[in-house]
C-alpha cells in the first residue's frame, strides 16, 4: 500500500478530486478498488461527499462487435469532444480483468493521442476480484471523475457477454458500434444488444465500404423499429460514421445531445438516474453479502466438501446452499 495514500484524510481526497489533482484522483480510484475494510470505509466517506457534483454530466456506454475499431472510434470521438471544450474520462468494464490481472486498456498505447490530451483521462478496468466488484468500482469511479470536472464519461465494454448489460445500467446513453454488411451482422447479433442500444453506429463508412455502410444503416434502423425501446420517449437511431476520417462523429454527438434534451424535458432522464442509484444500492448489498459469505470461516471449511457432493449428485444444490446459510448464521 502506498504510504502517501494512507496519510491522506477524507477531506484531502475530496479537495484533491474537486481540484482535479490527477495524482489524488488516481489515489482515490485505487482506494475505491481496494478490498481492505478500512479503505472501503474511507472510500464510502469520500464518495458521500462527492456524490452530487457535476450532475449534468453525460455518461455514454460504448460496445462493439470484434474488429469494429472501437479504440479508434473512442479516441477520435474523445478528441472531438475535448476540442469542443468538454472534459472526457474513458473507463473500461472488463469482466475478465479479475482473472487476467487487468484490462488491455491498461496499455494506453491504444489511445496515445487521447491519453496525452490534458482534458482527457483514461483508466483501465478495475481488477476488483469479482464481476460485481468490477461493476461497483466502475460506478464509483464515474462519481469521482464527474466530481473532478469530467462532464463526458465514456464507459467501454471489453469482451462480450454480461458487460453490455452491466454498462447499460450505469450510463445515460448506450451506443453500439457495428460493421458494414448488416445482412450478415443481423444474423449473428444478439437481440438483447439491439434492445438496450439507444443508437447503432455503423463504423468504417469510408472508401469501398461506404455504400455497404449506408445499406447497413437502413437495415439496422428497420430492426430497431420493430423492437420495444428501453426509453418511453426516445426511438433508437441508426447512423454511419468513419473513425478513420472523422465523418459522422459530429452527427453522433448531436444526436446524443438531442436524446439528453428530450429525456430531460420529459423527466425521464432524472427518473433513470434515480432508478440507477437504487439499483446500485442493491447491487452493493448483494456484492457485500457474497463477500461476507466467501470470507466466512465456517463456509471456507464446508465449501470444498459440499462442492464435491453437489458435483457428484450426492446432495441437491438447494440442501447444500441451506447448509452454507445455516453455517453463516451459527458463526
pLDDT in tens, 232-254: 899 999 999 999 999 999 999 99
pLDDT at 1 over 70: no
Q: From CA 178, how far away is CA 190, in angstroms rounded?
A: 12
User: What's the pLDDT score for residue 127?
Assistant: 57
The residue behind cell 479503505 is 39
pLDDT at 188 over 90: no
Residue 277 cell numbers, joined: 442509484
User: What's the pLDDT score for residue 99?
Assistant: 47
315: left (phi over 0), alpha (psi -120 to 50) or beta: beta
Sorted by sequence, the CB contacts under 8 Å of residue 143 that are 6+ apart come out as 47, 50, 51
Cα distances (Å, whole numbers) of residue 183 to 66, 177, 215, 219: 16, 15, 9, 8
Q: From CA 151, how far away is CA 256, in angstroms rounded?
A: 14
Name the residue ranges covered by the structural domains of the chain.
Answer: 1-50, 54-266, 278-330
Give the class (CATH, top level) of 278-330.
mainly alpha
Between 1 and 37, the more confident residue is 37
Q: For 78-125, write each residue's pLDDT tens digit.
A: 999 999 999 999 998 766 655 444 444 444 557 888 989 999 999 876
| Mean pLDDT for all residues in the chain | 86
User: What's the pLDDT score for residue 163?
Assistant: 76
The residue behind cell 453506429 is 201
pLDDT at 9 over 90: yes
Lay out the sheet containing 152-157: strands in order across.
120-122, 88-93, 152-157, 58-64, 173-178, 199-202, 237-240
User: What's the pLDDT score for residue 149?
Assistant: 95
The percent of residues in the chain predicted with pLDDT above 90, rounded, is 56
User: What's the pLDDT score for residue 4?
Assistant: 47
User: What's the pLDDT score for residue 66?
Assistant: 80
* End-to-end CA gap in the chain: 31
| Residues 296/331, Cβ–Cβ less than 8 Å | yes
Residue 11 cell numbers, joined: 477531506
Residue 199 cell numbers, joined: 443508437
Task: Determine which of 11-15, 35-39, 138-142, 176-180 has the lowest per-residue pLDDT on average.
Answer: 35-39
CATH topology of domain 1-50: 1.20.5
- Range with top average pLDDT, 46-55, 88-97, 130-139, 267-276: 267-276
Sorted by sequence, the CB contacts under 8 Å of residue 186 that are 6+ apart come out as 219, 220, 223
Between 54 and 191, the more confident residue is 54
SS3 assignment, position 248: coil
Sorted by sequence, the CB contacts under 8 Å of residue 57 that are 6+ apart come out as 146, 150, 151, 152, 153
pLDDT at 272 over 80: yes
Superfamily of domain 54-266: P-loop containing nucleotide triphosphate hydrolases (3.40.50.300)
| Residues 177/73, Cβ–Cβ less than 8 Å | yes
**Pick from 116, 52, 61, 115: nearest CA to 93:** 61
| Residues 42/31, Cβ–Cβ less than 8 Å | yes
User: What's the pLDDT score for residue 190?
Assistant: 64
CA-based radius of gyration for the chain: 22
User: What's the pLDDT score for residue 182?
Assistant: 58
pLDDT at 223 over 90: no
Residue 316 cell numbers, joined: 441437491
Between 5 and 15, the more confident residue is 15
Q: For 134-181, write each residue's pLDDT tens digit.
A: 778 889 999 999 999 999 999 988 755 667 888 888 999 999 999 887
Sorted by sequence, the CB contacts under 8 Å of residue 108 that are 6+ apart come out as 115, 122
User: What's the pLDDT score for residue 100?
Assistant: 47
Q: For 274-302, write each residue's pLDDT tens digit.
A: 999 999 899 888 878 888 888 889 999 99
User: What's the pLDDT score for residue 103?
Assistant: 46
Amino acid at each position: 500500500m502506498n504510504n502517501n495514500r494512507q496519510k491522506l484524510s477524507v477531506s484531502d481526497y475530496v479537495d484533491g478530486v474537486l481540484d482535479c489533482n490527477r495524482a489524488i484522483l488516481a489515489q482515490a480510484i485505487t482506494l475505491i478498488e481496494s478490498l481492505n475494510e478500512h479503505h472501503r470505509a474511507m472510500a464510502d466517506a469520500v464518495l458521500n461527499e462527492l456524490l452530487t457534483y457535476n450532475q449534468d454530466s453525460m455518461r455514454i456506454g460504448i460496445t462493439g462487435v470484434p474488429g469494429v475499431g472501437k479504440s479508434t472510434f473512442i479516441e477520435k470521438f474523445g478528441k472531438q469532444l475535448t476540442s469542443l471544450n468538454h472534459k472526457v474520462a474513458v473507463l473500461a468494464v472488463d469482466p475478465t480483468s479479475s482473472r487476467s490481472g487487468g484490462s488491455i486498456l491498461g496499455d494506453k498505447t491504444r489511445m496515445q493521442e487521447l491519453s496525452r490530451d490534458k482534458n482527457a483521462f483514461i483508466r483501465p478496468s478495475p481488477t476488483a476480484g469479482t464481476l460485481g466488484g468490477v461493476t461497483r468500482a466502475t460506478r464509483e469511479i464515474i462519481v469521482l471523475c464527474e466530481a473532478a470536472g469530467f462532464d463526458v464519461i465514456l464507459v467501454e465494454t471489453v469482451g462480450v457477454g454480461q458487460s453490455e448489460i452491466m454498462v447499460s445500467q450505469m450510463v445515460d446513453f448506450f451506443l453500439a458500434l457495428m460493421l458494414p454488411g448488416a445482412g450478415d451482422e443481423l444474423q449473428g447479433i444478439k437481440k438483447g444488444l439491439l434492445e438496450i442500444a439507444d443508437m447503432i453506429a455503423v463504423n468504417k463508412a469510408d472508401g469501398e465500404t461506404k455504400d455497404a455502410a449506408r445499406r447497413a444503416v437502413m437495415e439496422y434502423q428497420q430492426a430497431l423499429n420493430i423492437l420495444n425501446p428501453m426509453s418511453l420517449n426516445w426511438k433508437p437511431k441508426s447512423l454511419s460514421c468513419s473513425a478513420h476520417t472523422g465523418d459522422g462523429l459530429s452527427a453522433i454527438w448531436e444526436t446524443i445531445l438531442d436524446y439528453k434534451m428530450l429525456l430531460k424535458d420529459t423527466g425521464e432522464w432524472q427518473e433513470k438516474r434515480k432508478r440507477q442509484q437504487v439499483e446500485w444500492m442493491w447491487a452493493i448489498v448483494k456484492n457485500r453479502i457474497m463477500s461476507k459469505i466467501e470470507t466466512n470461516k465456517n463456509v471456507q471449511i464446508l465449501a470444498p466438501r459440499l462442492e464435491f457432493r453437489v458435483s457428484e449428485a450426492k446432495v441437491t444444490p438447494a440442501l447444500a446452499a441451506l447448509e452454507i446459510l445455516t453455517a453463516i448464521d451459527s458463526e
